[in-house]
Amino acid sequence: MSKVLPKARQPIILRYHRLMDAFSKSDDERDFYLDTLEGFMLYADLGKDEEDLLALDTELAENPDRYVIVPKMSYYETKKFMEGFINEKVYDIDTKEKLLDIISSKEARENFLEYIYDNLTELEKWQQYYHERSRIRVIEWLRSANVRFVFEEDIDLPKATVEKLKKHLFDARVGKEVTSGRQYLEKKADTYYSSEALNPRPKRGRPPKLAAKVELEPQLTQDMYVMVPPAVRHFLFLPDFSSTAATFSAKFDTEAQLIASLRGSAREKVDVRLEALSQRLESLRSLSSRIKAAGDIDLGSQERAISAALEVDDRSPGEPNKTSKLGEVFKGVIPKRKEQEKQDIQEMIKQKRKA
């Protein structure tokens, strides 16, 4: 039997990024719920104790009107997301054809993201498109659930006022500051039920001058809930704000995890090749500096150079070994010649001299 619950005196304050995060993670193995009374979220983590899970199921069953489950993204919706981005935001013909081939093959969702994250030009457009479309999807769902709400990221009120609004959600007698804040929330809530909320149109008039894009994280207040049943406290979903926390990936929870996974395949091979090239360049620089340090090396003709490098047998038995400057430079760099090869070259030079 449902419990008699107090009535909220204003639209509930929700965090859009938290809802978008839940939408992206909700699947066959993970269930998320929204409390329509205060606005807190629950994550039914199957890793919790069986006793806690049974208590959660009981609470959800006894209050079906209070908790609504976050919908799961179907295969059709996933493909529609990707197709919409390709058709609306990708202008390069080759890139568009490549992405269309990817979403028509197996593991389309992950392969699509891997290609996008390797293409910085498309990555920024994808992130903006994903956030805009996800926002519309969240608003549609909240409207269908008859939730009267305001996104905290959209509130333009002092931080202290927002905290008071959260604290006095069920109080009938409040001060002027809270009363004024409630009027603001009512007007703001109406905007989410307008047609423009689902079909945002570009602003008319002269476009603004181009300026450096500065992204500022909203000043969010602390979570304040006074009607959380003991049975669901272990399942509260309270992730910190992050503009890149939610991803389109079905395998990874955060963008950081997604990027780390991309480094393991093609990017790792690229890193190995770059490391090999770097070592070769360093070896060439070292060789060049050793040649310059040798000073005045008179190489002369090819014949004299070869003779100077190989003239070993012509020395008298008691004469000490002399190493040319050129030999010192290339010592350890050029591999030693085989003895038979050295004798053949010496014989060829002697025959040339006799002729």
Local structure of 286: helix, strand or coil: helix
- CA dist 179 and 171 (Å) reads 11
- Provide the whole-model pTM: 0.66
**The pLDDT value given to residue 281:** 79
**The pLDDT value given to residue 4:** 80
Answer whether 79's CB lies under 8 Å from 248's CB. no
- Cβ-count burial 141-164 (b if 16+ within 10 Å, e if not): bbeeeebbbbbbbebebeeebbeb
Handedness of CA 67, 73, 76, 77 (dihedral sign): positive
pLDDT tens string 123-157: 999 999 999 999 999 999 999 999 999 999 999 99
Answer whether 5's CB lies under 8 Å from 227's CB. yes
Host H or E run for residue 305: helix 302-310
**The pLDDT value given to residue 352:** 63
**The pLDDT value given to residue 211:** 47
- CA dist 311 and 342 (Å) reads 10
Q: Which of 194, 199, 180, 187 is nearest to 154 (CA)?
A: 187
Helix 93-103 and helix 108-117, axial crossing angle in degrees, nearest 10? 150
- CA dist 287 and 332 (Å) reads 10
pLDDT under 50: residue ranges of the chain: 210-215, 244-245, 265-266, 268-270, 297, 299, 312-313, 329, 333
Written as six digits, the tokens of 265 are 């395949």
Angle among Cα 84, 85, 91 to the nearest 5 degrees reads 115
pLDDT tens string 103-116: 998 888 889 989 99
> What number of other Cβ atoms are within 10 A of residue 304's Cβ?
12
Written as six digits, the tokens of 140 are 């549609």
Q: What is the DSSP string of 77-144?
A: HHHHHHHHHHHHH---HHHHHHHHHHHTSTTHHHHHHHHHHT-HHHHHHHHHHHHHHHHHHHHHHHHH
Beta strand spans in the chain (E): 12-14, 31-35, 41-44, 67-69, 149-151
**The pLDDT value given to residue 214:** 47
